[in-house]
Structure 1
Amino acid sequence: MIEIDGIDAKLLRALARDANQSAGALGRRLGLSQPATWRRIRRLEETGVIRGRQLRLDAEKLGFGVTVFLGVKLALRGRVSLEDFERAVSAIPEVQTVEHVLGLYDYRLRVVARDLADFERVLRRRIMTLPGAGDVEANVLLSEERLPGPL
C-alpha cells in the first residue's frame, strides 16, 4: 500500500471531479508548482493508485434508455470454466460491467438496452445462450442518485 498524504488526497479528489484539469491549474489550487503537481500525479499513476482516466457517456442520450442489473448463476451441469463465461459475456457490447461476486449469484452484470424489448432480445439471444448460463435475476434501474466517484 502506498502512503497518501493530505495533498495527495486533495489531488485525487480534484481529479475525480474533473480528470481533464492541467497540472498547472491543480497546482495553483493546492499551493504547488506545476512540476511538483505533475510528479505527484505520475507517482500515483506509476504505483497504480490512478489506474486511468475515463470518459463518461450519457447512455440515455445515446439511445440506451434501459439499464438492467442481472444476477447470473452458472449452471452446474457442463462445468464451464469461469474464464470461458467471463470471456463470452465480456464480448457482448450491451454488457457494461461483469463482476464476479459471492452470494446467491456468481456474477453481477450491468446491461444497457434501447428499451425493454431490446433488453429481452439481448437476454434471450445473447446472455442466456452463453456457455454455463443458468438462473438469472433481472433488476431494472429506475434512477441513479450517485455516480461512482472517489473512495
Structure 2
Amino acid sequence: MTELDDIDRRLLRLVEGDATLSAGALGRALGLGQPAAWRRLKRLEEAGVLSGRRVDLDVEALGFGVTVFLGIKLATKGRVSLEDFERAITAIPEVQSVSHVLGLYDYRLRVVARDLADFERILRRRIMTLPGVGQIESNVLLSEERLPGPLG
C-alpha cells in the first residue's frame, strides 16, 4: 500500500473531480510549483494509485435515455467458458460494464439503450441469445447520485 500524505489526498480529489487539470493548475490549487505537482502525479501513477485518466460521456445527451442493470446467471457453467461469455458480452456496444461477481448471479452488467423498446431488442436479440445465458434479472435505473470516493 502506498503511503499518502494530505497533499496527495488533496491532489487525488482534484484529479478525481477533473482529470484534465494540468500539473500547473494542480500545483496552484495545492500551493505547489508545477514540477512538484507533476512529480507527485508521476509517483502516484507509478505506484498504481492513478491508473490513467478518462472522460465520462453523458449517455443521455448521446440519446441513450435508459440505463439497465442486469444480473445474469449462467445456465451451464461447465459447458460455456467464462472467457467465451465475457468475450461475447463485451462485443455488444450497449454493454458499458461487465462484472464477474459472487452471489445469486454470475455477472452484473450495465446496459444503455435509447428507450425501453430498444432495451427489449438488445435483451432479446443480443443478450438472451448468447450461449450459456440462464436466468436474467433487470433493474431499470431511475436516478443516480455521484458520491465522493473513499478520499471524499
Greater mean alpha carbon deviation, residues 77-86 or residues 32-41? 77-86
Q: Deviations over 1:68-99 (max 9, x none)?
A: 00000001276211111111101100000000
Tell me the TM-score normalised to structure 1 length: 0.94
Does 94-103 or 47-56 show the bigger shift?
47-56
Secondary structure of 2:50 counterpart: coil
How high is the sequence identity, in percent, across the aligned residues? 74
CA offset digits 1:94-115 (Å, max 9, x no partner): 0000001111100000000001
- Number of aligned residues: 150
In the alignment, does 2:47 pair up with 1:38? no
1:83 maps to amino acid: E
The residue type paired with residue 113 of structure 2 is A
Letter of the structure 1 residue corresponding to residue 7 of structure 2: I
CA distance in 2, matches of 1:54, 1:25: 18
Q: Is the 8 A contact 1:89 1:127 kept in 2?
A: yes
Equivalent residue for 2:149? 150
Name the CA distance, whole Å, in 2 between partners of 1:33 and 1:77. Answer: 55
| TM value normalised by structure 2 | 0.94
Q: Residue by residue, what CA displacement relative to the aligned partner does 1:111-137 show, whole Å, maximum 9, x if unpaired?
A: 000011100110011101112111000
SS at match of 1:142: coil
Contact 1:98 1:110 (C-alpha < 8 Å) held by counterparts: yes
Gaps of 5+ in 1: none
Tell me which residue corresponds to 2:109: 109
Q: Distance in 1 between matches of 2:145 and 2:4?
A: 29
Residues 47-56 or 100-109, more deviating: 47-56
Root mean square deviation of aligned Cα: 1.3
Residue equivalent to 1:98? 98
Question: Aligned equivalents of 2:47 and 2:24: distance in 1?
Answer: 22
Question: Is 1:82 matched with 2:108?
Answer: no
What's the counterpart of residue 29 of structure 2? 29
SS at match of 2:10: helix
Query: Within 2, Cα distance between the matches of 1:9 and 1:137?
Result: 38
The reply on whether 1:125 has 2:129 as its aligned counterpart is no
Q: Give runs of ≥4 in structure 1 deviating > 4 Å.
A: none
The 2-side partners of 1:51 and 1:104 are apart by: 31
AA aligned opposite 1:65? G
AA of the residue aligned to 1:60: E
User: Which stretches in structure 2 are left out of the alignment for 5+ residues?
Assistant: none
